[in-house]
Amino acid sequence: MKPFIVMEVLEKAAEMERRGIDVVHLEVGEPDFDVPKCVSHAVQAAFNEGHTHYTHSLGDVELREEIAHKYRKEYNVEVSPEQVLITSGSSPAILLALSVLCETGDEIILSDPGYACYANFIRFIEAKAIKIPVFEEDGFQYRPEMIRKKISDRTRAIIINSPMNPTGNMLSPEVMQELASFNIPILSDEIYHGLVYGDKAHSILEFTDNAFVLSGFSKLYAMTGLRLGYVIAPKQYVRYMQKIQQNLFICASSIAQRAGLEALRSAKDDIERMRKTYDKRRAFLISRLKKLGFRIQVEPTGAFYVFVNVKHLTENSYQLAFDILEKAHVGVTPGIDFGENGEGFIRFSYANSIENIAKGMDRLENYLEQHFSSSFISAR
């Protein structure tokens, strides 16, 4: 299993900070906001009221009902609470879905670049990742005809992620509809839904029932440390997933589940405030990157990432990212972390204040002028 490189950047940055070096963090995809106050109060109330025991292995029934209601209200799709399984973050949700779909040697289609851990999950269950290149000029959307050519009798699912990590781009409804027409289960990672700054994000359930929705509370609600996610699955798979959950995880945290319930019911104003703040940061970061000579062909409109082409500087994004960290004291994520087709790119996260983003861009400008003067000037 390959390392998750962004965590190694973060750990190197932490080591530098212990030596007294000020590092600007533009690498990690973690909200810099505290949880909404209603969530904090719900955690305290859960302790005080004794919600500290096992829940049903599928999850707290009230929370499952609230998630079903959310999908009816936001996407106009019918989801039964019995299709919802609550997990300790969205990562176990991915593992459960892949585990019920795959035997050894089966194939899962995914994008390149794409979220770094997908391929490692697939490797862990002894299936095979079939990577489909996606391109900057398309806004990193799938070209469905490329997927069609890779479908075999061992294909068990297609993974989509919209808004997407690492690019921040969204799949169009037309592409989602065409993927649904292949009649292959779709694993739709919708963890960044709600963090959109233009057109509405679409759930795959608007186009097909033959899908697993993977999501959670880490990104939209700034609840990363509470480890709370869920999967919405076709009914015929739920019992199998439940048995795996019972054996491997038992259930998600009872405290986190009460917090998630309150987040869904009461945090609307908080998440809108955070969303507007992210949008301001997005515009600011894109503007600064363009002034530094970086070309962004399709501006991202979701999540909190900008995936930037640095091929005019280097073809070794790993080396460049650690060089920027060590010499400019700015944490960024190398594109190679997200697949071979991500090489030559750097991911910037704007889950940080505009003041810190500005400081990071100033440091990056000085670094580029000192170490890449000719290519930097020609790009500008």
User: What's the rounded Cα separation, in Å, for the pair 272 and 148?
Assistant: 38
Q: Which of 23, 4, 3 is nearest to 13 (CA)?
A: 23
User: What's the rounded Cα separation, in Å, for the pair 317 and 301?
Assistant: 24
129-135, long-range: CB < 8 A, 24+ apart: 130/155, 131/339, 131/340, 131/341, 133/341, 134/341
- Any idea what DSSP says for residue 35? P
User: What's the rounded Cα separation, in Å, for the pair 176 and 159?
Assistant: 11
- Tens place of pLDDT for every residue, the chain, 380 residues? 788 899 999 999 999 999 999 999 999 989 999 999 999 999 999 999 999 999 999 999 999 999 999 999 999 999 999 999 999 999 999 999 999 999 999 999 999 999 999 999 999 999 999 999 999 999 999 999 999 999 999 999 999 999 999 999 999 999 999 999 999 999 999 999 999 998 889 999 999 999 999 999 999 999 999 999 999 999 999 999 999 999 999 999 999 999 999 999 999 999 999 999 999 999 999 999 999 999 999 999 999 999 999 999 999 999 999 999 999 999 999 999 999 999 999 999 999 999 999 999 999 999 999 988 755 555 55
First and final CA of the chain: distance in angstroms?
Answer: 39
Quick check: 178 and 168 in contact, CB under 8 A?
A: no
Q: Is 286 left (phi over 0), alpha (psi -120 to 50) or beta?
A: alpha
User: What's the rounded Cα separation, in Å, for the pair 336 and 330?
Assistant: 18
User: What's the rounded Cα separation, in Å, for the pair 365 and 349?
Assistant: 17
pTM of the entire predicted model: 0.94
What Å distances lie between residue 310 and 254, 295, 314, CA to CA? 45, 9, 6
Q: Which of 61, 68, 33 is nearest to 221 (CA)?
A: 33
Quick check: 203 and 108 in contact, CB under 8 A?
A: no
DSSP β-bridge partners for residue 24 = 330
User: What's the rounded Cα separation, in Å, for the pair 211 and 180?
Assistant: 9
